[in-house]
Amino acid sequence: MKRLGKILLTLLLLLLLVAVLLYVLLQTQWGAGWISRTISQRTDYQLAFSKLEHNFSDPSLLTLDNVSFGRKTQPATLVAKRVDLGLRLAQFTHPGHFSSIRLEKGTLNVWRNAAPLPLEADRLQLSEMAVDLPDGELPVKAARVVGGITPWKPRAVNMPGSNARFQISAASLNIDGIPAKNVLLQGSVNQQQWVISNFGADLALGSITGRAQRDATGRWDVANLRLNNIRLQSSQSLSRFMEPLLSLPPIHFERIDVTDARLEGNDWAITDLDLALKNITLRDGDWESRDGSLSMNANTFVNGSFELNDPIVNMTFSPEGVALTQLSSRWANGLIRTAGTWQRSDKKLTLDQLAIAGLEYTLPQNWRDLWMAPLPAWLSGIEVKRFEANRNLIIDINPDFPFQMTSLEGSGSDLLLARDRQWGIWSGKLNVNAAGATFNRVDIRHPSLALTADDNRIAVTEMSAFVKSGMVESLATLSQQPQRAFSLTLNGRQVPANLLHEWGWPDVDLQGDGDMQLKIEGRLAAGTPLKPTVNGTLSATVNDKTVQQRMQSGQVTAAQ
């Protein structure tokens, strides 16, 4: 019996020695390589680490140094300088589930549709980690991430798991090219429902805070979002800068507050912006709202050559459309003020009143092209119930036909200025006059015009002006049909005989001032030149000499 006891004791000592030897070997570089090769050869995953550490003072903790882990067909999901694995009694039955996992000083790459890692933990901790989500709805890169997820059971489309709480901070965060610093994120996830109970960050020299939640269908509900003292610069145009808002998943904003923001991009800028937006939903590139509102003011708004100073906008939203309760701004050294409604059903903007005063405005070189271009799809028509203009200066420097009108005033009622997305004067009444004007280097005084428009035609019922010591008066009609047929009668008394030359009519073989009568017809169809369509006659008399000219298809064919 003593001999058998000695043999069993010897075997136990040998087994203990082997166990100790294996324990020591596994914590060497050779042991780390052997474990890495074994897992990499026998599973779909690639594992590499330089050293395994274990200390009996903390027997439930394993430490791996310089770890790289991920699927063989993809870049490494995890690269970390140190990984701490907290062991538990059930480790033998559930080897991939740990009491805790701590990742330190590395990178965690998360692909949206990638298979989840075969790891779980009651608690995942991150310390000085970088997190990269390159293919999400918005690409995200975070650096020096510290935080935890409890519990952590990752799923294919849900890295934190289907039921977890999280609290994470990051020294820096970049979302689709927008950088932020000192980020804090707290919340929870339950199946596909997310709750962001607290979010804060330093963004573009300012700060952003908010709360939000997402339901199982992917719809976000932002309870509040505050941006303070933002100073954001972008290389994108304004339309490109706004594109991400149109591509977001359905999102409802209960309230957005922007205070003292300055935004600048490629050929656009907004300074000292204050904004409050309530109860609006963005969905599929469109918006929805019940009892929503927008209040906004800024110091300047610039988009290309268009600049507004001290703009103020107040509007309310409803399922029917938008009620514009106030829009006022200083523009081109003057003031513009209006209010009205936009109806979703017919996409028509109706302005109850439009007042323009004190402008000093030079028309853009391509203003004729802009006049002919169709309006955007969301705006089919524009109607102005009451129009007023006072003390305006309008200049066109186009060398083909420059003009200028000083102290331009006007009034109008029920003016339909756009129909079927096309600019025009489709109905209503308009009266305008100016103290002086110049049309292609011809000076005139006190020009005045009155017109009425309906579905069939525009009728100019009065058009007059003083030229030097004489006066011209005119009547005209313009068809609203696509051919735009027009007729014009002009009578001049004691005006220069060649007054019409600078306006396109051939020279008249007369000198001095006299009387004239012009009658012409033509077409102003879009995309076609005017002159070849003009037919008419001119009779001019100076003293006792009279000259008559006849024009056909833009050419003078008879004269005497």
Q: How many residues in the chain?
A: 560
Q: Which helix (H) or strand (E) holds 367?
A: helix 367-372
Structure tokens that stand for 239 in this block: 């339309």
91: left (phi over 0), alpha (psi -120 to 50) or beta: alpha
Structure tokens that stand for 371 in this block: 């006049």
Mean pLDDT lowest among 45-59, 191-205, 247-261, 281-295: 45-59
Mean pLDDT of 116-128: 87
Q: CA 147 to CA 160: how far, in whole Å?
A: 12
Q: CA 50 to CA 67: how far, in whole Å?
A: 7
Boundary of a domain, candidates 391, 411, 441 = 441
Q: Residue 137 — very low, low, confident or very high, per pLDDT cuts 50/70/90?
A: low
Query: Does a structural domain hold residue 492?
Result: yes
Query: Does a structural domain hold residue 447?
Result: no
Of 76, 122, 75, 116, nearest in space to 97 by CA: 122
Pairing of strands 251-265, 381-396: unpaired
Query: Does a structural domain hold residue 176?
Result: yes
Query: Does a structural domain hold residue 173?
Result: yes
Q: CA 395 to CA 437: how far, in whole Å?
A: 10
Structure tokens that stand for 246 in this block: 């149109």
Mean pLDDT lowest among 157-166, 179-188, 282-291: 157-166
pLDDT of residue 19: 46
| pTM metric for this prediction | 0.82
Query: Does a structural domain hold residue 264?
Result: yes
Q: Residue 24 — very low, low, confident or very high, per pLDDT cuts 50/70/90?
A: very low
Q: The tokens 């014009």 sit on which residue? A: 488
Pairing of strands 360-362, 348-357: unpaired
Query: Does a structural domain hold residue 365?
Result: yes
Query: Does a structural domain hold residue 7?
Result: yes
Q: In terms of domains, do 37 and 49 share one?
A: no
Range of the domain at 1: 1-42
Q: Taking every pair of C-alpha atoms in the chain, what is the biggest distance, in angstroms? A: 158
Q: Residue 434 — very low, low, confident or very high, per pLDDT cuts 50/70/90?
A: very high
Report the half-sphere exposure of 244 (CA within 13 A, side-chain side).
10
Q: Please tell me what DSSP assigns to residue 397.
A: -
Q: In terms of domains, do 479 and 430 share one?
A: no
Q: In terms of domains, do 218 and 71 share one?
A: yes
Q: In terms of domains, do 15 and 163 share one?
A: no
pLDDT (tens digit, 9 = 90+) per residue, 180-230? 999 999 999 888 888 999 999 999 899 999 999 999 888 899 999 999 999
- Contact status, residue 340 vs residue 329, Cβ threshold 8 Å: no
Q: Is 501 in a helix, a strand, or coil? A: helix
- Contact status, residue 65 vs residue 50, Cβ threshold 8 Å: yes
Boundary of a domain, candidates 418, 441, 464 = 441
Q: In terms of domains, do 165 and 230 share one?
A: yes
Terminal-to-terminal C-alpha distance of the chain: 151
Comparison of pLDDT for 272 and 157, the residue scoring more: 272
pLDDT of residue 17: 47
Q: In terms of domains, do 221 and 277 share one?
A: yes
Calculate the CA dihedral of residues 329, 335, 336, 337 and round it to 10 degrees: 80
Mean pLDDT lowest among 137-146, 452-461, 479-488: 137-146
Q: Please tell me what DSSP assigns to residue 23.
A: H
pLDDT of residue 25: 46
Cβ-proximal residues to 1 (8 Å cutoff; 6+ apart), any chain? none
Q: In terms of domains, do 431 and 489 share one?
A: no
- Contact status, residue 184 vs residue 198, Cβ threshold 8 Å: yes
Q: The tokens 């004239």 sit on which residue? A: 516
Identity of the amino acid at 175:
I
Structure tokens that stand for 203 in this block: 């963004």
- Contact status, residue 98 vs residue 87, Cβ threshold 8 Å: yes
Cβ atoms within 10 Å, residue 400: 7
Q: The tokens 């901790």 sit on which residue? A: 125
Q: Phi first, then psi: what are they for 367, rounded to 5°?
A: -65, -30
Cβ-proximal residues to 544 (8 Å cutoff; 6+ apart), any chain? none
Mean pLDDT lowest among 72-81, 211-220, 417-426, 479-488: 72-81
pLDDT (tens digit, 9 = 90+) per residue, 36-57? 787 788 888 888 888 878 776 6
Identity of the amino acid at 482:
P
Mean residue pLDDT of the chain comes to 88
Identity of the amino acid at 269:
A
pLDDT (tens digit, 9 = 90+) per residue, 402-423? 999 999 999 999 999 999 999 9
pLDDT of residue 7: 55
Q: In terms of domains, do 186 and 282 share one?
A: yes
Query: Does a structural domain hold residue 449?
Result: no
Q: In terms of domains, do 212 and 241 share one?
A: yes
Q: Tell whether the model's pLDDT for residue 443 goes beyond 90.
A: yes
Cβ-proximal residues to 20 (8 Å cutoff; 6+ apart), any chain? none
Cβ atoms within 10 Å, residue 261: 20
Q: The tokens 């490109």 sit on which residue? A: 240
Instruction: Compute CA 95 distance to the chain's CA centroid, rounded to the nearest angstrom.
Output: 50
Boundary of a domain, candidates 441, 466, 493 = 441
Q: Give me the DSSP letters along 85-128.
A: EE--GGGTTSTTEESEEEEEEEEEE--TTSPPPS-EES-EEEEE
Q: Phi first, then psi: what are they for 181, rounded to 5°?
A: -130, 160
Q: CA 64 to CA 105: how far, in whole Å?
A: 12
pLDDT (tens digit, 9 = 90+) per residue, 311-339? 999 999 999 999 999 999 999 999 999 99
Q: In terms of domains, do 169 and 229 share one?
A: yes
Q: In terms of domains, do 241 and 389 share one?
A: yes
Q: CA 46 to CA 48: how far, in whole Å?
A: 7
pLDDT of residue 18: 44
Q: CA 216 to CA 231: how far, in whole Å?
A: 35
pLDDT (tens digit, 9 = 90+) per residue, 344-393? 999 999 999 999 999 999 999 889 889 999 999 999 999 999 999 999 99
Number of domains in the chain: 3
Radius of gyration over every alpha carbon of the chain, rounded to an integer in angstroms: 39
Identity of the amino acid at 463:
M
Q: In terms of domains, do 37 and 165 share one?
A: no
